[in-house]
Structure 1
């Protein structure tokens, strides 16, 4: 974790709702099964801002679906969009944390882990400026609007035939280091290259092979060729240095309702009859306006 992110352990007896002013809680399991890292990708920022969520309000089981969707679509050569994410998943809330469940009849993109235990007790704090989304604290007792857009089918989206289930796996330190190299050094006239032990160029996917023992080099770009990592970095939302270096006042924040176990937020289903058809409708507490995304 970069030093300027100000990562620190909680004090004994703290909960994730006790993040100091100017800090945000991060669960350790985000950085394991969820294949999550910082800085945030543009897609993760767009998800948080569309659903009006603070990152610490997402459970790991919800975040893993967000991350799996993004890298699955990128691996298949499809731009990940919030509107398409909504075709697969419905926002839900349970025990005070938000998550996503697969929409009925939507094709599967992943096989999620059966459970993640004790994740609420494993957390730390970082500066909120490192999370480059417009942080909001969504009311877990508010209405969750049921999505009614079409699910992906051959006749609704042109990329449907390319869909595949891509399993998730944890990245090792070496692999994360290579990714950080690629977004951390902006070189306009050079690009990063993966080399095998014999110095021959290797395809980038080989850095994810557990037995790869090569290295990363920086090579000069050819005529008219732009540094490749300038393309990579456009997929990330980089933190503002001035905001990271700002002096924080300290003291406890006001996130005491984070993970409120009384806020189950599970709406009841009522069957409404329309002629000979039956339609299920989710009933929840209060109206909350959610912006459209098409």
Structure 2
């Protein structure tokens, strides 16, 4: 097994037809000797601000890299995460079941995803949640095809499919902004995929009114940066920012309208209203939507083999 943080030097299968997304290339590492990853260029203040903003739990042991580190230099027992996953990508820990299932289906390690890949995963998830549609890898594949470019994996819109979002432009420098978390914080059976052999084009029917019965209910929602309360109501974040605070959506509140106007002024999607008096245990109700490592896994010592290479601390759904 390759070093957990390294998106290179990995194993994979020979593709029948490589799929490459050249629209997402960026040149922040063109001058790196040997074609490796660029070194850290991110302030400790920026790291601390991000951890506070996303309410990073102490359990995940989020760690700022050392000077001169690259994204391939996570210490034993830790993995690399890119800061842009948590900003425009709306990622939070623990990851949702859907994020874990995408990684497992495509045999990817999360550190091998570019931010563009995470943008599409999370946009799909909140779009389908808003419309109360099945959030499955099969449905995700109806819209997206796995791609690989410049050493990282992403997803491109499948030809002929309905456009769910417009990818952002000018996402540069993201390989220089990263941090480390304990490996089991991303609770999925991840593996490393060879970035040098391309990806086979999948043959799957796109979503149309003829192929899926829910197509007429679907309305695209463009990529948006959501705050913690919004992610919590969407069941895409396990813990809201202040556990003593009331939910952002409550009955007889204008907040229910305000949240979705963030997406579209005339949005007609659905969001469950939460009666505060009856839903004090909302976090417990949505627990099954997340991959949460057990306390024993979080407290376990980091496994290290004779060569000094660490292995993730056990995976599976709980």
The Cα of 1:152 is off from its aligned counterpart by: 0.9
Give TM-score, length-normalised by structure 2: 0.66
Partner of 1:230: 284
Give TM-score, length-normalised by structure 1: 0.71
Q: For the Cα contact (< 8 Å) 2:232–2:238, is it kept in 1?
A: no
The Cα of 1:201 is off from its aligned counterpart by: 5.3
Q: Matches of 1:233 and 1:159 in 2, distance apart?
A: 26
Q: Structure 1 residues 80, 177: closer, same or farther in 2, change over 3 A?
A: closer
Q: Matches of 2:239 and 2:97 in 1, distance apart?
A: 16
Q: Matches of 1:24 and 1:124 in 2, distance apart?
A: 8
Size of the aligned set, in residue pairs, is 239
Q: For the Cα contact (< 8 Å) 2:249–2:256, is it kept in 1?
A: no
Q: Secondary structure at the match of 2:80?
A: strand
Q: Structure 1 residues 209, 8: closer, same or farther in 2, change over 3 A?
A: farther
The Cα of 1:2 is off from its aligned counterpart by: 1.0
Q: Matches of 2:220 and 2:61 in 1, distance apart?
A: 37
Partner of 2:84: 29
Q: Structure 1 residues 218, 155: closer, same or farther in 2, change over 3 A?
A: closer
Q: Structure 1 residues 202, 103: closer, same or farther in 2, change over 3 A?
A: same
1:13 to 2:68 alignment = yes
The answer for unaligned runs of 5 or more in structure 1 is 186-190, 211-216, 256-294
Q: For the Cα contact (< 8 Å) 2:187–2:291, is it kept in 1?
A: yes
Q: Structure 1 residues 77, 60: closer, same or farther in 2, change over 3 A?
A: same
Matches within 5 A, 1:1-294: 1-142=56-197, 144-172=199-227, 183-184=238-239, 193-194=247-248, 206=258, 219-221=276-278, 227-248=281-302, 253=309
Q: Matches of 2:249 and 2:129 in 1, distance apart?
A: 23
Q: Structure 1 residues 112, 206: closer, same or farther in 2, change over 3 A?
A: same
Question: What value does the CA root-mean-square deviation take over the aligned residues?
Answer: 3.3
Q: For the Cα contact (< 8 Å) 1:153–1:160, is it kept in 2?
A: yes
Q: Secondary structure at the match of 1:183?
A: coil
Q: Structure 1 residues 245, 209: closer, same or farther in 2, change over 3 A?
A: farther
Q: Matches of 2:165 and 2:60 in 1, distance apart?
A: 31
Q: Structure 1 residues 153, 241: closer, same or farther in 2, change over 3 A?
A: same
The Cα of 1:233 is off from its aligned counterpart by: 2.0
The answer for unaligned runs of 5 or more in structure 2 is 1-55, 263-273, 312-318
Q: Matches of 2:167 and 2:188 in 1, distance apart?
A: 26
Q: Structure 1 residues 174, 143: closer, same or farther in 2, change over 3 A?
A: closer
Asked which structure has the greater CA Rg, the reply is 1
Structure with the larger strand share: 1
Q: For the Cα contact (< 8 Å) 2:148–2:198, is it kept in 1?
A: no
